[in-house]
């Protein structure tokens, strides 16, 4: 009987700790930790970021990463692949030459040409500001967008707005 009570108490404490840690992760957000000491350079960094369910969220492939200080990492020739949160399939790819990531707020900034690709478009610009936590950003300067499969886009629009089909 004592072992049964001890086992139940252990499971109860363990369950509470696990639930508290998940609640803390969800409330505070996941902080990206890049394993580069301050002032050092690392080549060939492959950094997968997974969500709370263990599914791939973002994949960073960085040719050269240099830790500038506690909060900032300089990235040279970086590729950032985001994944669809429902299907776990690759969604958007961002290619950067030189950029800086602030680990405190997860914002990546670049003042050099950037290429953003998805299955249905290619977007280029002279700069970028991207929040890897919220997956929102903006492209600046000399922006060009190439849309693939324009016919599919038109068909989707016609299905949503039948009044637009009137001759």
Domain with CATH 2.60.450.10 in the chain: 41-152
- Residue 165 DSSP label: G
Q: What is the pTM of this model?
A: 0.71
Kindly give, in sequence order, each residue whose CB lies less than 8 Å from that of residue 66, ignoring residues fewer than 6 positions away.
36, 40, 41, 42, 73, 74, 76
Q: Which CATH superfamily hosts domain 41-152?
A: Lipopolysaccharide (LPS) transport protein A like domain (2.60.450.10)
Q: What is the DSSP letter of 88?
A: -
pLDDT one-digit tens code per residue, 98-116: 999 999 999 999 999 999 9
Q: Stretch 151-160: mean pLDDT, rounded?
A: 71
pLDDT bracket for residue 155 (50, 70, 90): confident
**Whether the Cβ atoms of residue 67 and residue 59 lie closer than 8 Å to each other:** no
Residue 166: which pLDDT band, with cuts at 50, 70 and 90?
Answer: low
**What average pLDDT does the structure give for the chain?**
80
């Amino acid at each position: 009987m004592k072992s049964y009570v001890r086992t139940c108490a252990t499971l109860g404490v363990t369950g509470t700790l696990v639930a508290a840690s998940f609640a803390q992760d969800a409330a505070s957000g996941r902080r990206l930790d890049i394993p580069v000491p301050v002032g050092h350079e690392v080549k060939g960094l492959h950094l997968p970021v997974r969500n709370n369910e263990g599914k791939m969220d973002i994949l960073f492939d960085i040719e050269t990463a240099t830790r500038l200080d506690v909060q900032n990492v300089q990235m040279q020739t970086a590729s950032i692949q985001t994944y669809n949160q429902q299907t776990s399939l690759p969604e958007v790819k961002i290619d950067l030459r030189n950029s800086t990531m602030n680990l405190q707020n997860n914002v990546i900034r670049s003042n050099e040409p950037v290429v953003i690709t998805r299955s249905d478009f290619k977007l280029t610009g002279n700069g970028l500001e991207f929040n890897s936590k919220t997956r929102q950003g903006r492209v600046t300067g000399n922006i060009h967008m190439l849309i693939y499969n324009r016919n599919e886009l038109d068909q989707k629009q016609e299905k949503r707005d039948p009044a637009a089909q009137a001759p």
